[in-house]
Amino acid sequence: MAQIIKLKDKNTDFLEKITELSGEQITLCEQCGTCSAGCPFVSEMDINPSQIMRLVMLGQESVMDSKTMWLCASCFTCTVRCPRKLDLSKVSEALRQVKLRGAIDEIDIKEISDEEALKLPTIAVVGSFRKFTG
Amino acid sequence: MKTGIYLCQCGGNISNTVDLNSVTEHIKKNDENILVKINSHMCSGAGQKLIIDDIKKNGLEKVVVASCSPHFHEKTFRSTLKKAGLNPYVLEIANLREHCSWIHKDIPEIATEKAKDIVDAALAKAELNYPLEEKKMQLGNEILVIGGGIAGIQTSLDLADSGKKVTLVEKLPTIGGNMAILTKTFPTEDCAACILSPKMAAILDHPNITLYTNSEIEDIVGHRLHFEARVKKHPRYIKDTVNMDLCLSCNKCTEVCPVTQPNYWEQGIINREAIYIPAPHAIPFKYLIDAENCLHFRDNSCKKCAEVCPQNVIDFEQKEEIINVAVDSVVVATGYDIFDAREKSVFGYGKYENVVTAMEMERIVDHIVEAEPPRKVGKRVAFVQCVGSRDEQVGNEYCSRVCCMYSVKLASLLKQAKPETDIYIFYTDLRAFGKGYEEYYKRSQKMGIKFIRGKPSHFTEDKETKQVIITVEDTLSRNIIETEFDLVVLANGLVLSKSSDIVADSLKLAKSDDGFFKEAHPKYKPVDTLVEGVFLAGTAQGPKDIPDTVAQASAAAARVIATLAQKEVPLDPILAFVHQEICDGCEKCLEMCPPKAISMNADGKAAVNEALCLGCGSCIESCPIEALDLNYYTNKQLYAEIEAVLKFKKENEKRILVFADDNTTYRLIDACGVRKMKYTDCIRVLRIPSGSRVTPNLLQFAFAKGADAVFIGDSPEKSSRFEWANNVTNKNLEVVKKKLKELNIESERLVFSQFTAADMMKFITEIDQLADKIDKMDPITDELKKQLLPNKEIKE
Amino acid sequence: MKIPYFPGCTLKTTAQNFEMSAIESAKKIGIEFIELPRWNCCGVVASLTSDDLMRHLAPVRNFLRVQEMNKQGLVENENRLLTLCSMCYNTLSLSNLRMKNDADDLQKINDFMHKEEENYDGNIEVVHFLSILEEMGFDKLAQKITKPLKDLKVASYYGCMLLRPKEVGIDDAEAPTILENFVKSLKAETVDWDAGSRCCGSYHTVNNVEIVYTLVKGIILDARKNGAEAIITSCPLCAFNLDVRQSEIKKDNPDFQTIPIFYFTQLMGIALGLNKEALGLEFNKIDAEDILKKKKLIK
Q: How many CB pairs under 8 A join B and C?
A: 8
Segment B679-702, tens digit of pLDDT: 999 999 999 999 999 999 999 999
Predicted local distance difference test score (pLDDT) of residue B794: 47
Mean local confidence (pLDDT), B648-666:
95
Predicted local distance difference test score (pLDDT) of residue A109: 86
Distance from CA of A7 to the nearest CA of C (A): 26
Which residue of chain A comes nearest to B478, CA vs CA? A48
Choosing among B463, B464, B465, which should be mutated to test the C contact, i.e. which has the most C CBs within 10 A?
Answer: B463
Would an 8 Å CB–CB cutoff place A71 in contact with chain C?
A: yes
Q: Which of residues B240 and B121 earns the better pLDDT score?
A: B121
Choosing among B480, B481, B482, B483, which should be mutated to test the A contact, i.e. which has the most A CBs within 10 A?
Answer: B480
Mean local confidence (pLDDT), B418-430:
98
Q: Point out the residue among C45, C163, C164 whose CB comes nearest to the CB of A127.
A: C45
Q: Of B230, B228, B248, B229, which is closest to residue B238 (Cα–Cα)?
A: B248
Gap between the Cα atoms of B77 and B4, Å rounded: 13
Segment A9-30, tens digit of pLDDT: 999 999 999 999 999 999 999 9
CATH of domain B139-234+320-335+497-569: 3.50.50.60
Segment C270-284, tens digit of pLDDT: 999 999 999 999 999
Segment B494-544, tens digit of pLDDT: 999 999 999 999 998 999 999 999 999 999 999 999 899 999 999 999 999
Would an 8 Å CB–CB cutoff place A125 in contact with chain C?
A: yes
Tell me what percent of chain B is helix, strand and coil, each rounded to the nearest 5.
35, 20, 40
Which stretches of B76-126 are assigned E, i.e. beta strand? 91-95
Residue B243 has pLDDT above 80, yes or no: no
**Percent of chain B beyond pLDDT 70?**
98
Would an 8 Å CB–CB cutoff place C175 in contact with chain A?
A: no
Other CB atoms within 10 Å distance of the CB of residue C167: 12
Choosing among A36, A78, A85, A86, which should be mutated to test the B contact, i.e. which has the most B CBs within 10 A?
Answer: A36
Does ipTM come in above 0.90? Answer: yes
Which residues does chain A have within 8 Å of residue B472's beta carbon, measured at their own beta carbons? Answer: 33, 37
Segment B189-211, tens digit of pLDDT: 999 999 999 999 999 999 999 99
Domain boundaries, chain B: 1-132, 139-234+320-335+497-569, 245-315, 341-495, 571-631, 633-796
Segment C74-86, tens digit of pLDDT: 999 999 999 999 9
Q: Point out the residue among A36, A80, A84 whose CB comes nearest to the CB of B473.
A: A36
Residues 6+ positions from A93 with CB-CB distance below 8 Å: A22, A74, C47, C48, C49
Q: Point out the residue among A21, A73, A77 whose CB comes nearest to the CB of C203.
A: A73
Chains touching B by CB (3 or more pairs below 8 Å): A, C
Identify any residues that bridge with B752 across adjacent strands, giving them in sequence order: B712
CATH class, range B341-495: alpha beta
* Residues C138-294, CATH architecture: 3-Layer(aba) Sandwich (3.40)
Mark the ranges of chain A whose per-residue pLDDT is less than 50. Answer: none
CATH class, range B1-132: alpha beta
Gap between the Cα atoms of B611 and B221, Å rounded: 10
Mean local confidence (pLDDT), C200-213:
97
Burial of B200 (0-12, 13-18, 19+ CB in 10 A): buried
Chains touching C by CB (3 or more pairs below 8 Å): A, B
Distance from CA of C113 to the nearest CA of A (A): 22
Q: Point out the residue among C13, C174, C215 whose CB comes nearest to the CB of A121.
A: C13
Q: Of B427, B361, B388, B362, which is closest to residue B185 (Cα–Cα)?
A: B362
Gap between the Cα atoms of B656 and B653, Å rounded: 10
Predicted local distance difference test score (pLDDT) of residue B792: 58
| B346·C174 Cβ contact <8 A | yes
Residue C244 has pLDDT above 50, yes or no: yes
Q: Point out the residue among B386, B391, B456 whose CB comes nearest to the CB of A37.
A: B456
| A33·B474 Cβ contact <8 A | yes
Band (pLDDT 50/70/90 cuts) for residue B134 is confident
Which residues does chain C have within 8 Å of residue B463's beta carbon, measured at their own beta carbons? Answer: 225-226
C2-129: CATH, from 2.40.50.140, 3.30.2010.10, 3.40.50.150, 1.20.1050.140? 1.20.1050.140
3 state SS for A61-85: HHHHHCCHHHHCCCCCCCCCCCCCC
Q: Point out the residue among C174, C225, C226 whose CB comes nearest to the CB of B345.
A: C174
Residue B241 has pLDDT above 60, yes or no: no
Q: Point out the residue among A31, A77, A83 whose CB comes nearest to the CB of B390.
A: A83
Gap between the Cα atoms of C41 and C36, Å rounded: 12
Q: Is B495 helix (H, G, I), strand (E, B) or coil?
A: strand
Residues 6+ positions from B282 with CB-CB distance below 8 Å: B173, B174, B176, B265
Predicted local distance difference test score (pLDDT) of residue B565: 96
* Contact status, residue B254 vs residue B245, Cβ threshold 8 Å: no
Would an 8 Å CB–CB cutoff place C48 in contact with chain B?
A: no
Gap between the Cα atoms of B676 and B103, Å rounded: 5
Residue B796 has pLDDT above 50, yes or no: no
Mean local confidence (pLDDT), B242-248:
70
Which residues does chain A have within 8 Å of residue B471's beta carbon, measured at their own beta carbons? Answer: 37-38
Band (pLDDT 50/70/90 cuts) for residue B408 is very high
Gap between the Cα atoms of B472 and A82, Å rounded: 13
Which residue of chain C comes nearest to B393, CA vs CA? C166
Gap between the Cα atoms of C167 and C173, Å rounded: 10
| C44·A127 Cβ contact <8 A | yes
Residue C123 has pLDDT above 70, yes or no: yes
Gap between the Cα atoms of B580 and B1, Å rounded: 26
Residues 6+ positions from B778 with CB-CB distance below 8 Å: none
Distance from CA of A112 to the nearest CA of B (A): 33
| B455·A37 Cβ contact <8 A | yes
- To the nearest whole number, what is the mean pLDDT of chain B? 95
Q: Of B444, B452, B402, which is closest to residue B427 (Cα–Cα)?
A: B452
Q: Which of residues B652 and C156 earns the better pLDDT score?
A: C156
- Helix residue ranges, H only, B432-579: 437-446, 500-507, 546-564
B245-315: CATH, from 3.40.30, 3.30.70, 3.40.190, 3.30.200? 3.30.70
Predicted local distance difference test score (pLDDT) of residue B720: 83
Which residue of chain C comes nearest to B458, CA vs CA? C174
What is the topology classification, in CATH, of domain B571-631? Alpha-Beta Plaits (3.30.70)
Q: Of B341, B323, B670, B652, which is closest to residue B495 (Cα–Cα)?
A: B341
Which residue of chain A comes nearest to B386, CA vs CA? A83
Kind of pairing, strands B271-272 and C32-35? unpaired
CATH class, range B633-796: alpha beta
Segment B163-180, tens digit of pLDDT: 999 999 999 999 999 999
Mean local confidence (pLDDT), C126-155:
97
Other CB atoms within 10 Å distance of the CB of residue A8: 9
Choosing among C9, C13, C16, C48, which should be mutated to test the A contact, i.e. which has the most A CBs within 10 A?
Answer: C48
- Cα end-to-end span (Å), chain B: 16
Predicted local distance difference test score (pLDDT) of residue B737: 96
Which residues does chain A have within 8 Å of residue C10's beta carbon, measured at their own beta carbons? Answer: 121-123
Would an 8 Å CB–CB cutoff place A82 in contact with chain B?
A: yes
Which residue of chain B comes nearest to A83, CA vs CA? B391
Domain boundaries, chain C: 2-129, 138-294
**DSSP of A15-45:** HHHHHHHH---GGG-----HHHHH-TTGGG-
Fold identical between B245-315 and B633-796?
Answer: no
Lowest-pLDDT range of B111-125, B242-256, B564-578, C148-162 = B242-256
Distance from CA of B389 to the nearest CA of A (A): 9
- Structural domains present in chain A: 9-102 (1.10.1060.10), 106-134 (no CATH)
Segment B118-127, tens digit of pLDDT: 999 999 999 9
Q: Which of residues B160 and B757 earns the better pLDDT score?
A: B160
| B346·C194 Cβ contact <8 A | no
